Amino acid sequence: MNWIKKNLPGILVCLAIATPAWLLGKTLPVIGGAVFSILLGMVITLFWEEKKGAASGIKWTSKYILQMAVVLLGFGMDLQVVVKTGRQSLPIIICTISTSLLLAWLLHKSLNIPGKISTLIGVGSSICGGSAIAATAPVIDADDDEVAQAISVIFFFNVLAAILFPIFGKLLGFAQTSGTSFGIFAGTAINDTSSVTAAAATWDSMFHLGSQTLDKAVTVKLTRALAIIPITLALGYFTAKKEQRDNSFSLKRTFPAFILYFVLASLITTFALANGVNANVFLPLKELSKFMIIMAMAAIGLNSNIVKLVKSGAKPLLLGASCWAGITAVSLLLQRLMGLW
């Protein structure tokens, strides 16, 4: 009862913000509910600085609801299909992820960008946008301002990619009778699922390809998303080693439990689908995961200082632009070398 009394008001506030944000995200999927939610939270907190009884629940939501959402993301992973159809794009995925993480580290060093923001933007750019940031933030103990900054940067380049990539693809001469080449390009060079979907669907409609491009792009994107597992475990290990104060070493700290549950959820999904279970069974859990991420973003927005974010925005934007450009260039180069474009 004490826990409910302490946390329920803040949880309900986040729920109240997340509900209209989720609906707005359905209407404008290129922007997405998570961005609407974090922006609404930021605006509300300008007029509601003293949260008093709601503060504890807001903090709980930003941490634990976020972790639960990541676990539920695992129910969208059929590892068998991902491995089978993602093999063609795997070299490109590995190289684009490595490029983004390397650029994030180099610019962190050369421009003195805070390490946690650099990590979040690098991971978000290279893997799967907001979902990767959601998975990484608790592992490296990023605060809400850092998460909000990274989400804002990722959102900006998501929108640009969704609008510009189909035009860019046409100018570059991607095949217009098949969705394979542009699908691989969109799936490896655009960081968030909503924008990958938007760009791929636009390409399909431009050249009357049905859902060829969309199917390819989403499969490649799912393959990329698997990188959440090794990346977060590695970050958990290095964070634990960096922060330990004595000779003891915590296995629990090194391997965040919620990531292991994410892996377990993926394995359950894969096993179930391989044994004839209809994929639609997992749709409610996938939708719940998306909503919980939106709810956690509301909490993060409520705990973020929008003035501080604007003042510190130039360097993270430069970092995001560099990662985006690097991923795009490497994806195009490798597709050319592999004869896919």
- Report the C-alpha gap between 278 and 292 in whole angstroms: 24
Question: In the chain, pLDDT over 70 holds for what percent of residues?
Answer: 92
Which pLDDT tens digit goes with each residue over 82-107? Answer: 676 667 788 888 999 999 999 999 99
Return the pLDDT at 29: 73
Alpha-carbon torsion (300, 306, 312, 313), positive or negative: positive
Return the pLDDT at 20: 95
> pTM of the predicted model, to two decimals?
0.76
Are the beta carbons of 38 and 297 closer than 8 angstroms?
yes
Q: Residue 45 above 80 pLDDT?
A: yes
- Segment 31-41 shows an average pLDDT of 84
Average pLDDT, the chain: 84
Q: Residue 113 above 60 pLDDT?
A: yes
Which pLDDT tens digit goes with each residue over 206-246? Answer: 898 887 888 788 778 878 877 888 888 888 878 777 766 44
Return the pLDDT at 206: 87
How far CA 103 is from CA of 26, 66, 190, 220, 322, in Å, comes to 33, 27, 16, 22, 7
Listed residue (295, 294, 299) closest to 41, CA to CA: 299
- Report the C-alpha gap between 340 and 307 in whole angstroms: 45
- Report the C-alpha gap between 138 and 261 in whole angstroms: 14
- Report the C-alpha gap between 200 and 139 in whole angstroms: 32
Return the pLDDT at 5: 84
Return the pLDDT at 246: 47
Are the beta carbons of 188 and 92 closer than 8 angstroms?
yes
- Report the C-alpha gap between 149 and 59 in whole angstroms: 17
Which pLDDT tens digit goes with each residue over 271-327? Answer: 998 898 888 898 898 889 889 988 988 998 898 777 766 676 788 989 999 999 999
**Tokens standing for residue 243:** 């922060």
Which pLDDT tens digit goes with each residue over 120-177? Answer: 999 999 887 877 888 898 888 888 888 888 988 887 888 788 888 999 999 998 988 8
- Amino acid letter at 169? G
Confidence of residue 250 (pLDDT cuts 50, 70, 90): low
Taking the mean position of all CA atoms in its chain, how far away is CA 3?
Answer: 30
- Report the C-alpha gap between 286 and 70 in whole angstroms: 10
**Tokens standing for residue 158:** 């998501």
Per-residue three-class SS string for the chain: CHHHHHHHHHHHHHHHHHHHHHHHHHHCCCCCHHHHHHHHHHHHHHHCCCCHHHHHHHHHHHHHHHHHHHHHHHHHCCHHHHHHHHHHHHHHHHHHHHHHHHHHHHHHHHHCCCHHHHHHHHHHHHCCHHHHHHHHHHHHCCCHHHHHHHHHHHHHHHHHHHHHHHHHHHHHCCCCCCCHHHHHHHHHHCCCHHHHHHHHHHHHHHHCCCCHHHHHHHHHHHHHHCCHHHHHHHHHHHHHHHHCCCCCCCHHHHCCHHHHHHHHHHHHHHHHHHCCCCHHHHHHHHHHHHHHHHHHHHHHHHCCCHHHHHHCCHHHHHHHHHHHHHHHHHHHHHHHHCCCC
Return the pLDDT at 249: 47
- Segment 67-86 shows an average pLDDT of 77
